[in-house]
Structure 1
Amino acid sequence: MGFGVRQFELTLMHRMRDLNDGRVEDALIDMGASRAELRAAHTQWTKMAHSVRTRKGLAGLRTVLGPPPYQGRTTIGSLTCDVARWALPAWPDLEFEVLLGPDGAVWNQWFVRPHGDKALAFADLVPWGCVVADVASSFPGAAQGEGSAPHHWVVDFAHEGTDYRARFVYGLYQRLDRA
């Protein structure tokens, strides 16, 4: 079985099931994909990640997704890193971004809004409708942090006197919990 954009999307969704199984099930129906196809994509991705013959980092993503439509550089604090982004059909308003260190190692990979953060109201917190930067910039005092599993992220914030934790997988909003 070849591994392309569809399988990559399914691999991302496999991890998203950790926090929002229902949204992933809906997406599988929309894609005409089965749970077995989701599991098979994840299994193949895992094998590729551990294979000595498979290209890694940006080269591996290029093999799967094609050349990135956007490549550039960004500064984060005192670090400058390379950036590559791809549009994926399952998330048409977002781009999958990879940040690379000076040695070409993947430092981070997640969804971003390609034209800057979107201002959100509390009611706009809809699964798969926003990214980390949207939530972090929309709620004063919001604090970002790592989640409890690989590729998980959280943003803690207060709204109308209640503390919340927004949970993300690959930077894509999954659910909101009271903190």
Structure 2
Amino acid sequence: MTAPFGPREFQLVLLRRMADHQPGLVEEARQELSASAAEMREANRRWQAMVRAPGGRGALRWPVPLWPDLRFEVMVAPGGAVWNEWLVRAPGAPGPELRTVEDLRPWSGTVDEVARAFPPARPMEGGAPTRWALAITAPGTGEPYVAEFTWGLFQRLLPG
């Protein structure tokens, strides 16, 4: 019998995609969860099967223990089609102080937080369904950058 799909397995799904940009942080988190790479792949396989099944996901926002100040949010259209799914700051949880591009650290902020900190941020297409990018400008210097996100959580900053 297969174990229920719970918060641990869901976090492994999130980590699997983040490993492309932050393998060291993902390895630390995977060890914190006492999970093998095979368990991470299996969790992702099960998640993909669940989201493609009739009925899909029932919850619209739920906690993610690895990031206690964040929630995973699913925006659903009438009829159940998923418009967006990503990590957002939990209600009442303080966000990061993002004043300069140097304040951007992996896993430090969400798409919304970075966009508000560096106006006028311009959305860009990400390289995969779970990825987003923002074109931002460094305050003071005017240098262009691209902030990359996986599941809505900041991963890395590239020259623009």
Normalising by structure 1, we get a TM-score of 0.77
Any unmatched runs of 5+ in structure 1?
Answer: 63-83
Q: Take 1:89 and 1:149, find their aligned partners in 2: how far apart are those partners?
A: 24
| C-alpha contact (below 8 Å) 2:63/2:70 kept by paired residues | yes
Normalising by structure 2, we get a TM-score of 0.86
Aligned residues: 153
Secondary structure of the 1:44 match is helix
Q: CA offset at residue 121 of structure 1? A: 2.1
Q: CA offset at residue 50 of structure 1? A: 4.2
Per the alignment, residue 159 of structure 2 pairs with 178
Per the alignment, residue 88 of structure 1 pairs with 64
| Counterpart pick for 2:8 among 6, 16, 32 | 6
| C-alpha contact (below 8 Å) 1:167/1:173 kept by paired residues | yes
Any unmatched runs of 5+ in structure 2?
Answer: none
CA deviation profile, 1:104-161 (whole Å, cap 9, x unmatched) = 2211100111337654122321111110011000012211222011110011111123
Per the alignment, residue 137 of structure 2 pairs with 158
Secondary structure of the 2:35 match is coil
| Structure 1 consecutive aligned stretches of length 4 or more whose deviation exceeds 6 Å | none
Share of identical aligned residues, percent?
A: 43
Equivalent AA in structure 2 for residue 104 of structure 1: G
Instruction: Give runs of aligned pairs for residues 91-106 of structure 1, distance below 5 A.
Output: 91-106=67-82
Per the alignment, residue 42 of structure 2 pairs with 40
Which structure has greater strand proportion?
A: 1
